[in-house]
Amino acid sequence: MEDLIKAIHTTPIIDNHAHPLLTSAAQSKYPLLSITTEAHGDAMRATTSSLSHIRAVNQLSYVLGCPPTWEDVVKAIDIEKAKPHHVWQRRCLEGLEILLVDDGLDGGDEVHDYSWHDKLVRSECKRIVRIEKMAEEIIDALLKQDDIEPEDVFGALRDAFEIAIQTAIDDPEVVGFKSVICYRTGLAILPLVSSSDVRDSFVDYIARLQEAGITEFKRVDGMPLNHYLVNKTAQLISLSSKHKKPLQFHTGLGDNDITLTKSSPSHLQDFIRRYPTVPIVLLHASYPWTKEAGYLASVYENVYADIGEVFPFVSREGQEKVVREILELCPTEKILWSTDGHWFPETYLLAVLQVREALEVVLTDYVQSETLTIPQAVRAVEDIFFKTSNDLYDLHIPFKPLVGSTIPLPIRSATRSDQDTFITFLDEYTSVKFLRLQWLDYTSTPRLRILPIKKALNLLENSPKLSIGITNASLGLLQNDTIIPGVAATGEYRLQADFSSLRPGPYEGYAFVQCEFHESDGSISALCPRSLLRKTIVEAKSLNLEFLVGFEIEIVFMSRSEDGALQTLSNSGGHAWSSNRALHGNKILDMLHQIYDSLAVSGIYLEQWHPESATGQYEFVLPPLPPLQAVDALLHAREIISTVVAGYSLRATLYPKPFADMAGTASHIHLSFSSPDGDKKEVYEPFYAGVLKHLQAITAFGYSNPSSYDRMADSCWAGGRWVAWGTQNRETALRKIDGSHFEIKIIDGLSNPYFALAAIVAAGTQGLKDKLDLTLGDCLKDPALLSEEEKKTLGIRDMLPKDLEAALQALENDQELTELVGKDVVGRYIRVKKAEIDLLNGIPASERKNWIMERY
C-alpha cells in the first residue's frame, strides 16, 4: 500500500485546464472568498458555512501555520504574498508539471500571460484557445471600424475566425481549444447545415447594436452563431492532417449564468457522433452529471472525461463520490484531471491537496476490497494525473516522479477521517486495548494520558478529532510537577491526537500517538513544541526546502543493586566501542534482539546498531524521515527501548555523562536536503551558515540541562567547544558528511528535539533567505589544537556557551532567532529552564545525577 500512496503523492500532475493568476495590482478587486464557490455577489455571503469553505480554511490554516479561522487565513496569505520571488505562488502550485491555460476568462490586463506561469511549474505552459473569446475579439475590432456594414461584419468574422482557428491549429504553443457554449445556449449543439440562418440572425443583431451606437462587443450569446463557431472549429480540427488538438467543453456546474439542466454532457451525444475524429474533453467532472460523462468516455473513442473543478468546490465526500462514479464505467486511460485554478494561487493548492486525498481514500479502498491490485491502482494514478493528458495533448513530457514530499498534511489525517484511520489500525492490531496520548514538555519529560480503546472510539464518534482537556499548567511544569512562576493551574488546553504518528507499542496491548496543544477555540497553541516544528517546516517549504532527518539514539544500560540503586551494567567487562565482547552473553543479546523486533512491530526499522564506548552504552541508528515524523519516531523508539530494558530489570538512561572517565551520551541529528537542488552549494551552504550564525543560542535547546555541559569537551569526539564545522570532523559541532548531509552534534537526550530541530531549521531557512555566505572555513583538525593563526584563517573565533545559564543568555540576546522561533515560546522556555536550574541546585550534588538518570 505504501507504493500506491507514494505514487499518489509523487506523480507529477499535468493540469489540463487552468486559468491565469491575477496580477498583484488586481488582487484586491476580486473576493478571495470565491476560491471555494461558484457563487457571486450577495449569494457569496453564505459561503462561509459551506463544507467546502470550512474544509479549505482548516487545510489552509494547517499549511500556513495559523489559527483555523477565515480572518486568520486571509492575514497569513497577505503575509505570504508580500514575500519576494513568488515563493507563495510556487508553493501553491507545487506538484504541477505544466499548466494548459485557458486565458479567455474575463480579466484582460488584470491577469498574467500564460507564459508568465512557467516560473511556477516544471515545464513550459501551453495555451488552450477559448473560441468564443476569439470570436468576440474579432467582432469587437470590426465594430470599431468606421462605416462597416452589418453584412460585412459577418463575412469578415467568418473569414477571420477560420484563419485564427487554423493559425492556432498550426501554433505549437496552442495544445487545444475550449468552448463555453454550455453557458450560452446549453450543450445541445445543432449541426452546421447552412450559414444563412446564422448570417441573418447575426446581421440583424449587429444592425441593432450599430443603431444604438454601441461599438464595444462583449459576448456571443444565445445565437445560432454559437453553434456555428463550435461546429466550424470541430470541422477544421477534423480536417487537420497533424495531431488533432482536443476540443474542451465546459459541462456541469458553473456560476448562475448557466442553465443547469442544459449542462449535462448527454446533450453532446449527437455532436460527438458528428465529429468522430475530434478529441472531445468533458470538463469539470460534468458535476452533477458525472456518470453521464463516464458513460460517454467509455463508449466513444474520441471522448475523455476531466474530473476537475469539484476540487475544492465540493465536499470531501462529494469528491470521493465523483472519483468512484467516474471509475464505475470509464477506463482510467480516458480520465484526466485539472485544477480549474483561477485568479488566486490558493485554488491550485487546495485542488491538488484534495484530489490526492480523494484518490488515496478511493484507491486504497479498492485495493483492500481486491477490486484493484497495487500495480493497477498505481497505473490509474499515473493515467489520471499524467499519461492521459501527455498523450492527448501531444506534450512529449518525460515522466519524472516528484522529488521530496508533496504532502503538507500528515497522510492519514489528510486523506481519511481519524476515526477511519483508527478503526483500520485496530483491525490490524487486534490486541490493542489502550491508547497512550503522549506529549513532550519544556523539560523534555515524556508525559501521557491513557484511554481505553472504547473511550477513544466514543470520542471519535462525536468529534472529527480526538482531544481531551488538559490543564494550561502542562507547559509550565518542572520534573517534580512544580508549576513555574507566572503559570497557574487555571484554564485548559485541548490535547489533540495526531493520528499520522499512530504506532503500536511500547507494551503489548498498547498503541501510542503524539499530541499537540490547541486552545479552547480549536486554534493551535503558540506554546506547543510539536506544532512549532511543524510550522517551521512549512516555512522552510515555502522556499522549496525539504529535509530528511535521522537520529542516533545513544543510551546507557545500567544495572540495579539489591536496594534499587543504579550502578554500572553487570557482567560487562571488556565493553568498548564497536567491540564484539559487548555482545557476549545471552541476556544482552536477547534484550537487543527484542529491542529490534519491538521497534520493527512499531514500524521503526533500524539502520544499524552497535556498542558505544562507555560501559553498557549502545547506539541505535534510526532511518531518515521527514523532520516531524523523525522526531515522533525518535520518541517512540526511546520509549520502546526503555520498556524492553526495564523488562530485564535494567535501567536505560539518556544522561549525558554517566561516567566521568568514559564517553558521554548524545542524540546526534543527521540532516540532509531532499528537495530539488538541495545538494547544490548555493542552497545548503547559506542554510548551514544560518545555523552557525545562531549556534550559540541553538545550544540552549540542544544542551538543555545543566548536566549536558559535563559532556561538552574538546578532543573527545563530542563536537568540541567551538562554533565550527568540518568535513568528516567529529571534533566540530557540525560535521559535514557529503553534500547537504551534515551531522549536528550539540544535542543530547535531555533536550526536547521538537524545539532543537525547529531552531536549527528556522536558523538555516533564514540563512538561505538572507543568502548568507559560509564564511567559516572547513576545519579539518581538532579546533582545540589549532594555532591562533589557523583559527583566524578559518574564521573560528566564537566558543559555545560554557553552561546552561550562558546558553540561555545567548538565546535571550539573539533577537533574530527569538523572532524566528517565537517570542512566546522562547520566553516560556527560558523561564522553565531557569526554574529547573534552581530546582537542581536544591538537590545535593551526590544525589543529583541519580535523580536525573531516573527521569531520563
Whole-prediction pTM: 0.59
Mean pLDDT, the chain, whole residue set: 90
The yes-or-no verdict on residue 410 having pLDDT over 50 is no
- Give 830-847 pLDDT, tens digit per residue: 999 999 999 999 999 889
CA distances from 530 to 43, 155, 226 (A): 40, 69, 58
The pLDDT score that the predictor gives to residue 443 is 96
Q: What average pLDDT score do residues 230-253 get?
A: 93
The grid coordinates of residue 98 equal: 505544466
Q: What average pLDDT score do residues 371-380 get?
A: 92
Give domain 417-525's CATH superfamily. Answer: Glutamine synthetase, N-terminal domain (3.10.20.70)
Instruction: Specify the higher pLDDT residue, 83 or 73.
Output: 73
The pLDDT score that the predictor gives to residue 490 is 87
534-853 to CATH, choices 3.40.50.410, 3.30.160.270, 3.30.590.10, 3.40.50.150 = 3.30.590.10
The pLDDT score that the predictor gives to residue 391 is 96
What is the 8-class DSSP label of residue 625? B
Do residues 685 and 732 touch, judged by C-beta distance below 8 A?
Answer: no
- What is the rounded CA–CA span in Å between residue 357 and residue 491? 36
The yes-or-no verdict on residue 105 having pLDDT over 80 is no
Q: What average pLDDT score do residues 759-777 get?
A: 94
Q: What is the CA radius of gyration of the chain?
A: 32
Q: Name the pLDDT band for 107 (thresholds 50, 70, 90).
A: low
- Give 282-338 pLDDT, tens digit per residue: 999 999 999 999 999 999 999 999 999 999 999 989 999 999 999 999 999 999 999
- What is the rounded CA–CA span in Å between residue 851 and residue 856? 9
Q: What is the 3-state secondary structure (H, E, C) of 392-427?
A: HCCCCCCCCCCCCCCCCCCHHHHHCCHHHHHHHHHH
**Ranges 152-156, 183-187, 305-309, 704-708: which has the least confidence:** 152-156
The pLDDT score that the predictor gives to residue 822 is 92
The grid coordinates of residue 695 equal: 549556534
Residues whose CB is less than 8 angstroms from the CB of residue 352 and which lie 6 or more positions away in sequence, other chains included:
13, 93, 94, 95, 96, 311, 339, 406
666, exposed or middle or buried, with CB in 10 Å at 0-12, 13-18, 19+?
Answer: buried
**Neighbouring C-beta atoms of residue 540, cutoff 10 Å:** 22
Q: What average pLDDT score do residues 35-51 get?
A: 86
CA distances from 851 to 64, 446, 453, 543, 855 (A): 41, 16, 34, 44, 7
Q: What average pLDDT score do residues 412-427 get?
A: 72
Residues whose CB is less than 8 angstroms from the CB of residue 11 and which lie 6 or more positions away in sequence, other chains included:
381, 382, 385, 386, 401, 402
**Ranges 358-367, 562-571, 835-844: which has the least confidence:** 562-571
Q: What average pLDDT score do residues 367-388 get?
A: 92
Which residues in 751-781 are b (16+ Cβ under 10 Å) and which e? bbbbbbbbbbbbbbbbbbbeebebebeebee
How large is the greatest C-alpha to C-alpha distance in the chain, in angstroms?
112
Q: Alpha helices, DSSP H only, in 616-752?
A: 627-646, 681-693, 695-702
The pLDDT score that the predictor gives to residue 194 is 63
Do residues 817 and 759 touch, judged by C-beta distance below 8 A?
Answer: yes
Reported in sequence order, the residue ranges of 519-597 that DSSP labels E, i.e. its strands, are 547-560, 566-568
Instruction: Specify the higher pLDDT residue, 34 or 108.
Output: 34
At 589, which helix (H) or strand (E)?
Answer: helix 586-601
Q: Alpha helices, DSSP H only, in 407-554?
A: 411-415, 418-428, 453-462, 529-541
The pLDDT score that the predictor gives to residue 278 is 97
Q: Name the pLDDT band for 416 (thresholds 50, 70, 90).
A: low
For the 2-412 domain, the top CATH level (class) is: alpha beta
Q: Name the pLDDT band for 106 (thresholds 50, 70, 90).
A: low
Q: Name the pLDDT band for 379 (thresholds 50, 70, 90).
A: very high
Q: What average pLDDT score do residues 352-358 get?
A: 93
The pLDDT score that the predictor gives to residue 781 is 92
The yes-or-no verdict on residue 413 having pLDDT over 50 is no
The grid coordinates of residue 79 equal: 503575509
User: Which among 319, 503, 393 has a CA at the least distance from the CA of 100?
Assistant: 393
Can you give the residue ranges of every domain in the chain? Answer: 2-412, 417-525, 534-853
- What is the rounded CA–CA span in Å between residue 9 and residue 30? 32
- What is the rounded CA–CA span in Å between residue 189 and residue 522? 51
